[in-house]
Chain A
Amino acid sequence: MTFFRSHILVSIDPECQAKGAYQIIDALNDELVAQGLIGEVQVLETSRIGDPAAYGPDIMVYPEGVHYVKLTKDDIHNLVKEHFLKGRAVEKFLVEQAAKSDDELGPPKPKEVRVVLRNCGVIDPCNIEDYIAVDGYMALAKSISELTPEEVIDTVLKSGLRGRGGAGFPTGRKWQFASGSKGSPKYIICNADEGDPGAFMNRRVLESDPHAVIEGMAIAAYAIGSSQGYIYCRAEYPEAVRTLRIAIKQAREFGLLGSNILGSDFSFDLEVRMGAGAFVCGEETALMASIEGKRGEPRTRPPFPAVKGLWNQPTNINNVETYATVPQVILKGAEWFASMGTEHSKGTKTFALAGDVNNTGLIEVPMGITLREIIFEVGGGIKNGKNFKAIQTGGPMGGCLPASDLDLPVDYESLSQAGSMMGSGGMIVMDEETCMVDIARFFMEFTQEESCGKCVPCRVGTRRLLEILTDICDGKGKAGDIETLEMLCKQIKQDSLCGLGQGAPNPVESTLKHFRDEYEAHIFEKRCPAKVCRAMIRYEILEDACTGCTVCARNCPVDAITGERRQTHTIDPDMCVRCGICLQVCNFNAVTIN
């Protein structure tokens, strides 16, 4: 084995790739060869290190732990010469220089506890030795050599781990069912069809720590007596699929997948299956239909997958985060895991914070933390000093919660009692300039499009909801619309087969409950309080602020703006298509919305 004095980890997060991460890798290798350092310094690929949007592409140099950011391939010659030949850090690219106020990088923020995300950006996902170095596959070894399958299930049961895909079914119970089910072969499936808009926790784990998922699946397979597993990954995540395939290949080479794992009589192998773009395939029965090569349509349960799953065989299906948590539970014990969280929701949960919050991105927090702590402490508060209006949790089937729910503890029960849900962990923060009717319409557009069409209440009902909401946003709302919406929501929930239809009305119901006044303003006053709905707003130019620079007139796509140079400009409201470009390009804040 070659020993290198330094390792350069280059972030190949998709966002960094888009900014030229691979060119950086090529340039680094070229320079190391040219400067005679190739035998001493190794270049490795890693997942996201910092915030690629602000600092990418970025690299981390070990053992020094120096983080360089905002690199281009032309900087590499000097960087290699200074850092590795002369031994001086290059100040210009150090992260401290680039970071302005908030430190979005490095150690987890206060209140964060990283269990599932602990290896992300720390180890090289394409190198199994990196994972093994941080106690990887120890839990599998412990399970196979020291524990019976029943003891493994018992540990998971005692830990209180519940399904991280959204429904929150106790993982240990699920394993018990699959274990007790008669029939052979049995299958293990990992649901990596993370389709909820705004949720990308699973993508990160698959791209940054794929072996944790593989190890978790192998432990589940040992527990229930399965020898074949599938990871169903959505087609929108090509990088995750690529990383997984590499990881599986390496695990096979190390004898951690395949026949007689670690010299025991336990055998287990894995295959990656890619979806083809269908949100409903995240539903477990639809997912299995898709693996079988069919249309991804859900079916009735029971029989549950534990009894009749893939190819009618007993099947255990969990999501990425659940499997990635399992090795830690086995290694550190059920008590350790159960010491975090609330009475019924144990451990930690990852969330993807998005929308109008200062620190967007992934977080991992103990269950029971309040929404306020997540938004204002972990998330750093609302962007641009604006006010908080609502938070949408649980993805498109979740609900919008208002400021009065900010002190709600984040656990499965509290969120569903409040009319939302845990879901897979997307959290979209909305500020005061968000129109809640528009948001409800938007979510309905999504579910309407993604309904597989099998159940009429879901297929037709979501369409009717969307039509009414679109009318309201277009200023054509009428008395009685709110009541029709409420009735439809109730019926769709009641009469749909799967979680998609049963959850589809949640965004409408929750906004009706908490933001009814906004619906009423749209319908009865033909007014959009947040000034978002185009039919009810007018762009105008402020006489006092306009300098007559002509920028708006030149950028208007429909030539609705007139005015001489150095004279106040005006917008023709009949021609204006309300695209907002004038507002965006004006340097003098002279364009307003009324």
Chain B
Amino acid sequence: MPPDNMNVLEVVHGVVEEHGAKAEELIPILNDVNRAIGYLPKEALEEISRLVKEPKSKLTSVATFYQMLSTKPRGRHVIRFCESAPCHVAGGREVWQAVQEELGLKDGETSEDGKWTLITASCLGLCGVGPVVLVDDDMYGNVTPSQVPDILARYS
């Protein structure tokens, strides 16, 4: 479900107005709606389809193609784990294991209490300080497995 007291249609209208109701603005629109609500609820996609005059099938196909767009609700905190090679070589595999074990989640899963969503991200370009974990917008570099519980404990 979208966060309480959030009017999905209002969000959609605001975003579409900002970008203009044009097909070529579809990805910026979906990005912004996804960011505001946390994911793309069905009613948001339907409303965008109506405003931009593009079939719902096309919206679904676009929304499910890109990694940063989600059609499923996500947790309050999204953990993005950089799974790219420089992080992997620098010990990322052990950190990934530790994160999964600490949360009891696998890639793409959301915890039952709705607190965490765990996903892998492609290279974040911060290879100088790998392994890198991104919690919401907070970047953690040079992470070791033993630091994982401390990092997660910072979020409520």
Contacts and interface: CB of A to CB of B under 8 A. Distances in A.
A360 B26 contact: no
A125 interface: no
A376 to B, nearest CB: 18
Given A15-B139, A296-B65, A279 B130 contact: no
A274 interface: yes
A279 B122 contact: yes
Interface of B is mostly: helix
Contact of B68 (A14, A276, A443): A276
B89 A354 contact: yes
Interface stretch (B6-14, B71-79, B90-98, B110-118): B90-98
B138 interface: yes
A205 to B, nearest CB: 12
B150 interface: no
B51 interface: no
B141 A355 contact: no
Interface stretch (A130-138, A193-201, A338-346): A193-201
Contact of A278 (B65, B98, B130): B65
A274 B125 contact: no
Contacts, number: 149
A352 interface: yes
Interface stretch (A363-371, A520-528, A577-585): A577-585
B28 A292 contact: no
A15 B132 CA distance: 11
Nearest to A240: B125
A355 B126 contact: no
A464 interface: no
Given A236-B122, A360-B127, A434 B66 contact: no
Interface in B47-104: 54, 58, 61-62, 65-69, 83-90, 94, 97-98, 101
Nearest to B92: A442
A430 interface: yes
B69 A392 contact: no
A51 B28 contact: no
Interface of A: 14-15, 17-18, 51-53, 194-200, 203, 235-237, 273-279, 290-296, 352, 354-356, 360-361, 392, 396, 426, 428, 430, 434, 439, 442-443, 445-446, 450, 452, 555, 557, 579-581, 584-585
Q: 4 closest pairs, A vs B, by CB?
A: A197-B84, A277-B67, A293-B26, A276-B66
20 contacts: A15-B128, A15-B141, A18-B138, A18-B141, A53-B128, A200-B126, A236-B121, A274-B27, A275-B66, A276-B69, A293-B27, A354-B90, A354-B128, A439-B85, A439-B89, A442-B85, A446-B84, A446-B122, A452-B65, A579-B145
